[in-house]
Amino acid sequence: MLELYGHVVASRLLLGTARYPSPAILAEAVRASKTDIVTVSLRREMAGSRAGGAFFQLIRTLGVRVLPNTAGCHTVAEAVLTAKMAREVFATDWIKLEVIGNHDTLQPDVFALVEAARILSGEGFKVFPYTTDDLVVAERLMEAGCQVLMPWCAPIGSAMGPVNLPALRSLRAQFPDIPLIVDAGIGRPSHAAIVMEIGYDAVLLNTAVAGAADPAAMAAAFTGAIEAGRIAFRAGMLEPRDMAVPSTPVIGKAVFS
Amino acid sequence: MRVLIKGAGVAGLTLAHELTARGAAVEVAEIARYVGGGASWFAGGMLAPWCESESAPDTVLALGREAADWWHTVLPGHVICKGTLVVAPQRDTGELARFAARTSGCDWLDADDIAALEPDLAGRFRKALHFRHEAHLDPRRAITALYGRLQASGVRFHLGAGPDFPEAGFDHVVDCTGANAIGQAAELRGVRGEMLMLETPDVSLSRPVRLLHPRIPLYVVPRGDGRFMIGATMIESDDAGPVSARSLMELLNAAYTLHPTFGEARVIETGAGVRPAYPDNLPRLSVDGSAIRLNGFYRHGFLLAPSMAKDAATCIVGMQADNGQQSLVRPSLLAPSERNIIPLQIGAGR
C-alpha cells in the first residue's frame, strides 16, 4: 500500500482534471481509472464563481480525494496565497506545489519552489512539489519539509515519456523510503509502466488521458499499465544481457537423429 | 396555440422562428432591454461542426451540419461559406496531425495553397488544414436581423420584462434564459468565455482561422470592415466580470502569432460572457413537470440552436392540454431519465 502523508491510497494513479471534453467525460475517466486522488487547478476555475463553482461541486461528487494545485503561479507569494485559498475551498492541507519558471514550457522554478515549500510546510501544509529530476533540488525540498517528491520525467504535456532514466533511478536510489510520483511528461501507458518498473511509487497524469480520443478507455489502460509495472518491480526483473541465454540446458541434451 | 418564450438569445429567437413557422402565436419576454444579451452577443459565430468534433461528441456534428443552411434560408446573405482554416505555430505542427486525426472533412494545405486561400497569411505557415464545408456569420448582425424578421412576422417582444412576467393565458412557457438559469436548472453550470475585437485595415482574412496550441487554442474570425474577433477562453466559472489580464495577453498573443500586423491593430472591444452548459456539454430540451426548458448550448449556440429549435418546436406543438395538466403526445420522450431530463439526441430519435 502507498502511504502519502499518513493517508493510505490503493490506486497508484493520480489524475488531473483539466482539459477534458466535458465534465461528464472527466467523471467517466475518474471512474474508469479507479483513482483515489484527483488534482484540481484552483487558479482560473475559481474567479468569482457563485456557490463555490459548479465545477468544484462536480469534483466533490466524484467521491475521490482532492489534491489542489497551484498551477499557473509564477512567484512564491502567488503560490503561497493560492495554497491558502485551496485550503479554504477544499478543506485540505494537501497542496500540489507548482511554481512556474518559464511561461512557455512550464518548467518549474526550482529556487522559488524550495522557498514556497519551506513556507507552506512551516504553516502545516502537506506539500507535493512538482519538480525536475535534479537530485540536489530534491534534497533541498526534503530539507524544506516535503515528504513526497513529484519529479517530471519529461517536460509537461510533451508526452515524451522518461527522457532521463538514470536521473530517475538515481532519485529512487537516493530516497528509497520517500514516495516518488512521476508528474508530467508521460504520454502513453508504456511510459507509465517503465517508471513503475524502476520502482516509482505512483504516476500523475492529465493530458495523456484528457487529450485521448476516448479518455475513459485511456484511463483504464493507464491503470493497467501502472499496476503491471508495479507488480513487475516487486517480482524482480531480469537485467538485459548482450548475448542469448538459452532457457533450457544444451549440454547433455538427448539427441534423436 | 400561444407560447411564451423567456429569453431572447439565440436559443429563444430560433425557437420563436420555428414555433411561428408551425402556426403558434409566440411572445418573447426578455429580462434585458435588448435582444441577444447573454452568451450570444460574445459568440464567434463559427458554423464549424467538423472542427468542433475534435473534442465534442458525434452529436454536435450530426445536429450542427444543417446549421449553415438554416441560417442561410432564414437570413439570406448572412452566412459566409468559405470553410475554416486551421494552422499551428511551427514547433506545434504535430498538433495539426492530431487535429486532423480526430476530425473529418478537411484537406491538408501546403504553403502555396494557404497563400491562395488567404494571401495575407502567405509565407507564415507551411501546413494547414482546410475544413471546406464550414461557414460563419456575424452573431450580432444575425441576432438583430432575426429579431426584425420575427417582429415582422407578428412575434411580440417584451423587453425589460421582470422575472414575474405574467404567464397566464399561454398554453406553454419555454425557458430559454441560458446562463441566467444557473442555480435553477439542475446540473446547469457556467463556462466563462472571454473575447476581444481588433480593428486594422492592414490584414485581410476571408474565413475563420483557428490557431492550435497545446494549451491555449484560439480563433480569429473576420467580421468585415477590418474587424476581427479573437476568442475565446474556456474557464470553469460563471463569473461574467471583465476580461482578465492573463486572458487578454493570451488572446493578443494568438492574434500576434497569426500575423504580427495585429500588433498595430486597435483593441476596440473586450468582453466576457458565460456559456450555459450541462455536464456533457450538450444542449437539452427538458420537460420537468410543466416547465419546458431549452438550454445548455455551451459554445455551440449558433451551431446547434437551429436543429434543437426545430425538434423543440415539433415537440411543443405536439403537446396537448389534458384536464389542465400538460402531457406529451409522445410520452416515450420522457422515458430515458427519471428526472424527465431529455438529452435530445435520444428523445428526438435521431
Can you name the residues that pair with A221 across neighbouring β-strands?
none
Q: Is A167 on the interface with B (CB under 8 A)?
A: no
Please indicate, yes or no, whether residues B230 and B194 belong to a single structural domain of this protein: yes
Which residues are bridge partners to B170 per DSSP?
none
Q: Does B238 touch chain A (CB under 8 A)?
A: yes
The CATH number given to whatever domain includes residue B238 is: 3.30.9.10
Instruction: Identify whether residues B122 and B216 lie together within a single domain.
Output: yes
| pTM of the predicted protein model | 0.83
Do B322 and B210 lie in one domain? The reply is: no
| Nearest-Cα residue of chain A relative to residue B277 | A22
Instruction: Tell me how far apart the alpha carbons of residues B9 and A243 are, in angstroms, rounded to a whole number.
Output: 73
Same domain assignment for residues B194 and B318 = no
Q: Is residue B67 part of a domain?
A: no
Q: How many domains does chain B have?
A: 2
Statement to judge: residues B214 and B167 lie in one domain: no
From chain B residues 275-314, the ones with a CB under 8 A of any chain A CB are: 277-282
Count the neighbouring beta carbons within 10 Å of the beta carbon of residue B66. Answer: 16
Give the distance from residue B9's alpha carbon to the nearest chain A alpha carbon, in angstroms: 22
Q: In what order do the strands lie in the sheet with B209-211?
A: B106-110, B127-131, B84-87, B209-211, B218-224, B227-231, B189-199, B266-277
Interface of A with B in 90-119 (CB under 8 A): none
CA distances from A58 to A26, A216, B55, B280 (A): 10, 17, 20, 12
Q: Strands B266-277 and B284-288: what pairing?
A: unpaired
CATH number assigned to the domain comprising residue B325? 3.50.50.60
Which residues of chain A are under the pLDDT cut of 50? 51-52
**Residue B156: inside a domain:** yes
* Domain stop point among B238, B262, B277: B277
B106-113 own/partner pairs: CB under 8 Å, 24+ apart: B106/B50, B106/B130, B106/B131, B106/B132, B107/B132, B109/B85
- Indicate whether B112 and B169 sit together in one domain: no
Q: Do residues B310 and B201 both lie within one domain?
A: no
Per-window interface: A 35-94 vs B, CB < 8 A: 44-51, 53-55, 58, 72
pLDDT at residue B264 greater than cutoff 80: yes
Q: Shortest Cα distance from B86 to chain A (angstroms)?
A: 18
Q: Ranked by mean pLDDT, which of A217-221, B168-172, B310-314 comes out on top? A: A217-221
Q: Could you tell me if A213 and B100 are in contact, meaning their C-beta atoms sit under 8 angstroms apart?
A: no
pLDDT for B325 equals: 43
The interface predicted TM-score of the complex, written ipTM, equals: 0.76
A42 versus B298: the higher-pLDDT residue is: B298
Instruction: Note whether B22 and B151 are same-domain residues.
Output: yes
B221 in any annotated domain: yes
pLDDT value at position A155?
84
Which CATH architecture best describes the domain A2-235?
Alpha-Beta Barrel (3.20)
Nearest to A66 by CA among A91, A37, A88, A86: A37
Same domain, B171 and B284: yes
Instruction: List the single residue in A24, A46, A54 with the smallest CB-CB distance to B190.
Output: A54
C-alpha cell at B282: 450538450
Asked if residue B21 has pLDDT above 80, the reply is yes
Which residue on chain B is closest to A40 by alpha carbon? B236
Q: Are A39 and A62 in contact (CB under 8 A)?
A: no
Largest Cα–Cα distance in chain A? 85
pLDDT, position B337: 38
pLDDT per position as a tens digit, A32-70? 999 999 999 876 555 555 544 778 888 888 889 999 999
Q: Is the pLDDT of residue B65 over 70?
A: yes
The answer to whether residue B50 is domain-embedded is: no
- CB atoms under 10 Å from CB of A207, counted, come to 20
- Gap between the Cα atoms of B15 and B187, Å rounded: 22
In angstroms, rounded to a whole number, what is the distance separating the alpha carbons of residues A201 and A227? 11
Residues B251 and B290 in one domain: no
Distance CA A178, CA B60 (A): 47
Sign of CA dihedral B122, B110, B196, B303: positive
Q: Could you tell me the residue range of the domain that residue B21 belongs to?
A: 2-43+138-187+279-333
User: Residue A255 has what pLDDT?
Assistant: 65
Q: Domain for residue B213, yes or no?
A: yes
Radius of gyration for chain B, computed over Cα atoms and rounded to the nearest angstrom? 21
Kindly state whether residues B320 and B193 are assigned to the same domain.
no
Are both B288 and B316 inside the same structural domain?
Answer: yes
Let me know if residue B61 belongs to a domain. no
